[in-house]
Structure 1
Amino acid sequence: MECTARFSGSLLIPADDTTLTAVARHKSLLERHYKVACTEWKIAEQFIDKKYTYALADSIGVPAPWTIVLESLEDVERHGRSIEYPCMVKPCQSHHYFQVFRKKMVLVKNFNQMLSAYKQATDAGVEVMLQEFIPGDDTHGVNYNSYFQNGEPLVEFTAEKVRLSPPEFGVPRVAISKDIPEIIESGRNILVALDFYGYSCTEFKKDARDGVYKLMEVNGRHNRSVLLAVHCGINFPWIEYEHLVLGRQPSINNFQRGNCPSEKECPTKHSIGVYWIDEFKDVIHSTRYFIKERYSLIQYILPYIKSHIFATFDLKDPVPFIKRCIDLIKMAFSTFSITL
């Protein structure tokens, strides 16, 4: 709050679940000084704590993996002996789990592995669930990005994941803009049921067994790959700024996919089939997981030779790229020093 005098009236955008939780819990206080770009906590809690998200999805018929919340060792014994393996041990609140274990979830193949993962999580004070494992490679993951107001999607954009970091259960390191009409209805329905408003990125995964897209999570905040939508002509951060700061009502007619304020910067012919690349993670993890992923050389380089945008590298604004390089060098030296 010590920054209020300097930044009073500015747009406050939470960028991860930790900050979103803090801002949403104190939104009424923060709104005295800022334009706050998130929902209040009674809504945010429903997607931050995923046990509520999956229960809501089940109640309205949005396809999702079966999910069992584990509240005790008795639950573990009762459900763990009867469920089908492999399955996921997944945190109810991902950011708490990631802070401790540096991963989003764990795949378990039998009861003993599940019990061990449960005990590790509960010992760290993290509530977890058992969840159905949805088979499918990295490209089966998709995003439904939207800007909602009064229960209606004013702007929508869909994309498909190409490579994850790490593979299978990580975050996108390469994604591609793509029309995916199969997820539109489910994406809209879960957001309406949440009474959500503003920007969100709702994730689904296509089940390799039946071809149905299953709900993975709702992110009520901007994700790093939002630049993909910007490059394709849908500038979600600017839409949010215009709406909350300038008081201009967003219009779906002004932000159809393919329209762009500057044709030179984001040509309409590239609005579909454009790649977003986290250049650091893709190089590092493509090298590390080359054998496991089994991609051909052309599959690795295709995003770089097709129309694309990088997560940080931009000749017109090189500072973020330089800063990230410096951070990686510091991290490498720190790791090397600890090893010695």
Structure 2
Amino acid sequence: MKNKAVVLGANYYIGLSTIRCLGVHDVHVAAVDYAWEGAYGLESKYVSEALIGPHYKEDPEGLVAFLTDYAKQQSETPVLIPTADPYVEFVDAHLVELKKHFLIPQTEQGLYTKIMDKGTLHTLASEHGVAVPETVEVDEENFVQKVNETIQYPCLVKPVDSPSFVSKFRRKLFKVHNEEELLEKVGQAKDADIEVIVQRMIPGFDDHMYTFDAYLNQEAKVTHWMTCQKLRQFPVNYGASVYTQQKHVPELYDLGAKFLEGIGYKGFAEIEFKKDAETGRFYLIEINVRITNLNNLLYKAGLNIPYITYRDLIGEPLEPKAIQEDQNLVFWYAYEDLLAVREYIKTGQLSPSHVFRSYFRPKAHAIWDPKDPKPAVAFGKKLAGLVVGKVTKKN
């Protein structure tokens, strides 16, 4: 195939799985990162070109120039695929310029950012009939009183812009149990110049978290989709998937497809829902507008999202497909799952026997692949370096 694929981000397993999903179909993959150190995805045998460019945040204009210079040298227009939230924000901010030189699913500048923003996302969801948790904005008059009366405790202090919050606090949100904690955490966010909202906690353990994963073509119609159920996440209760199963839930298609098509979305999206343990109602929690953490699970189940994206954009779309039979497959990010399991057991949320029994299932690994082992070796060295660094610091 003449069109190359430019993958933004190789220092996390999402980028790695994206590279592999394209490489297995002999797509020429140019993997881009801002440093060699830690970018274990660049070790994949499926990387045709490993490129080190300017940092997306420190020099975004430089990265635009770097990418456009690369694209101009190609005989066919490359496909551009961001694999991390900061890269999505970068692409969205420079969409007009980048679309002159790259094939990119989205055509409406600002839509990616609007969906990543919790405030505007909830407004969109409400307009399209999708339930969202009750929310209070911290700049509202008498916001503490409103939290006390309409949301109550414990509740969640969540960022409007997740990437900046995670970068600062190394977590996705704050859980607060009283008014004093609420004011403290809102104050911390304000000191960091990060906008937050206060949201009701939807009752239910981590296995009440579900995803609707879908690709929408250039007519903004869902062509490929499946659903998943989280079993464990890290950090526990409010983190990223570390042990998640493919699970067919038709109701999520009814909710998710209608919403994404209604807002004119194009490309891949993953909607996270939480099922209320008391009412059974699904609430939209957030949307990932880049390739999902669960990408290898989708691939093993029968949906190769990066390749579906690539084929759609070069004008050779694959046949529509939905995964509607449970395959007993699970996604496993071993490193963080072991950290999560320790916390689940310590807090009495799961028993050791329950965890032990859960492992006897076919797995889609986050990093390990016997046909492409070098990235896992590089990741192991990275971990070893972190451990040595911590021990040295303590001593």
Q: How many residues align?
A: 325
Partner of 1:227: 296
The C-alpha deviation readout for 1:136-185, integer Å capped at 9, x for no partner, is: 11110001000112232101110100111121111110000111112111
Residue of structure 1 in register with 2:242 after alignment: 173
Partner AA of 2:394 in structure 1: T
Please tell me whether residue 283 in structure 1 is matched to residue 352 in structure 2.
no
Any residues of structure 2 matched to 1:184-333 within 5 Å, and which? 184-244=253-313, 246-252=314-320, 255-257=321-323, 272-333=327-388
| TM score, norm. by length of structure 2 | 0.77
The CA distance in 2 between the partners of 1:218 and 1:164, in whole Å, is 16
Q: 2:162 aligns with which of 79, 94, 115?
A: 94
Counterpart-to-counterpart distance in 2, 1:186 and 1:285: 30
Residue of structure 1 equivalent to 2:29:
none
Q: Equivalent residue for 1:263?
A: none
More deviation in 78-87 or 139-148? 78-87
Aligned residue number for residue 88 of structure 2? 20
Number of the residue aligned with 1:261: none
Residues of 2 paired with 1:39 and 1:128: CA distance? 28
RMSD between superposed Cα atoms in Å? 2.0
Amino acid at match of 2:165: Y
1:43-192 equivalent positions in 2, closer than 5 A: 43-71=111-139, 74-83=141-150, 84-149=152-217, 150-192=219-261
TM-aligned CA deviation for residue 239 of structure 1: 0.4
The alpha-carbon deviation at position 36 of structure 1 amounts to 2.6
Task: Provide the rounded CA distance (Å) in 1 between the counterparts of 2:160 and 2:372.
Answer: 38
In 1, the alpha carbon distance for the partners of 2:234 and 2:222 equals 30
What letter matches 1:192 in structure 2?
Answer: E
Query: 2:149 aligns to what SS in structure 1?
Result: coil
* 1:21–1:41 Cα contact (<8 Å) kept: no
Code of the aligned partner of 2:146: H
Give the distance between the partners of 1:293 and 1:278, measured in 2 at CA: 22
- Cα distance in 2 between the residues matched to 1:2 and 1:81: 51
- What 5-or-longer segments of structure 1 have no aligned partner? 259-268
CA 1:301–1:153: 2 relative to 1, 3 Å: same
- Separation of aligned partners in 2, 1:305 and 1:151: 39
The 1:152/1:38 distance shift into structure 2, 3 A limit, reads closer
Which range moves more in the overlay, 278-287 or 19-28?
Answer: 278-287
Deviation at 1:86, TM superposition (A): 1.3
Where structure 2 has 5 or more consecutive residues not aligned to the other structure, the ranges are 1-64
Say which is worse superposed, 33-42 or 213-222, in terms of deviation.
33-42
Q: Deviations over 1:291-328 (max 9, x none)?
A: 22543444323443212111111111112211211111
The alpha carbon displacement at 1:94 in A equals: 0.8
Please tell me whether the aligned partners of residues 46 and 194 of structure 1 are also in contact (alpha carbons under 8 angstroms).
Answer: no
CA distance in 1, matches of 2:391, 2:344: 22
